[in-house]
Amino acid sequence: MGQETVVAVDQGKSGTRATACVVDGANVCGDGAALRAAAAAQSVSRGCEPGSTGVDAVADAVARLRLPGPPDVVCVGTTAAPAGQDERSAVARVLSSRLRAGRVLVTEDAVTAHLGAFGGTPGVVVSAGTGAIALWSDGHGCVRVDGMGPVLGDHGSGADIGRAGLRAAFSAVEGRGAATALVEPARRHLGGLGLAGARRLHEAAHPTEVVSDFATAVLRAAEHGDEVAGTIVARAAHDLATSAALAARRELSAGGRPRCCAVGRLMRSEVLRAAFTRHATNRGLAVGEAHSGALAGALLLATDGPGQAFAPLVGVAGRAHPSG
Query: What pLDDT, in 10s, does the model give residues 154-213?
Result: 999 999 999 999 999 999 999 999 999 999 999 999 999 999 999 999 999 889 989 999
| 29-43, 140-154, 213-227, 298-312, range with the lowest pLDDT | 29-43
Q: What is the mean pLDDT of residues 125-140?
A: 93
| 88-92, 237-241, 301-305, range with the lowest pLDDT | 301-305
3.30.930.10, 3.40.47.10, 3.30.420.40, 3.40.640.10: which CATH number matches 128-287? 3.30.420.40
- Residue 107, class by beta-carbon neighbours within 10 Å (0-12 exposed, 13-18 middle, 19+ buried)? buried
DSSP string, 86-137: HHHHHHHHHHHHHHT-SEEEEEEHHHHHHHHHHTTSSEEEEEESSSEEEEEE
Burial string for 210-234 (b: 16+ CB within 10 Å, else e) reads bbbebbbbbbbbbeeebebbbebbb
**Fold match flag (4-118+292-318 vs 128-287):** yes
Check if the beta carbon of residue 254 is closer than 8 Å to that of residue 291.
Answer: no
The pLDDT score that the predictor gives to residue 20 is 86
The pLDDT score that the predictor gives to residue 256 is 93
| 37-41, 77-81, 180-184, range with the lowest pLDDT | 37-41
73: pLDDT strictly greater than 60:
yes
| 37-41, 155-159, 227-231, range with the lowest pLDDT | 37-41
SS3 at position 68: coil
Question: Cα separation of 125 and 113, whole Å?
Answer: 7
286: pLDDT strictly greater than 80:
yes
Question: Cα separation of 122 and 115, whole Å?
Answer: 10
pLDDT band at 75 (very low <50, low <70, confident <90, very high): very high
pLDDT band at 55 (very low <50, low <70, confident <90, very high): confident
The pLDDT score that the predictor gives to residue 50 is 61
278: pLDDT strictly greater than 50:
yes
**What angle, 0 to 180 degrees and rounded to 10, lies between the N-to-C axes of helices 109-118 and 294-304?**
90
Domain residues of the chain, as ranges?
4-118+292-318, 128-287
Check if the beta carbon of residue 46 is closer than 8 Å to that of residue 54.
Answer: no
The pLDDT score that the predictor gives to residue 81 is 83
The pLDDT score that the predictor gives to residue 271 is 97
Separation of CA 50 from chain center: 15
Supply the pTM of this predicted model. 0.86
CATH number for the domain running over 4-118+292-318: 3.30.420.40
SS3 at position 32: helix
Question: Cα separation of 140 and 2, whole Å?
Answer: 29
Question: Cα separation of 239 and 243, whole Å?
Answer: 6
The set of residues, in sequence order, having a beta carbon less than 8 Å from that of 41 and lying 6+ positions away, is 19, 20, 65, 66, 67
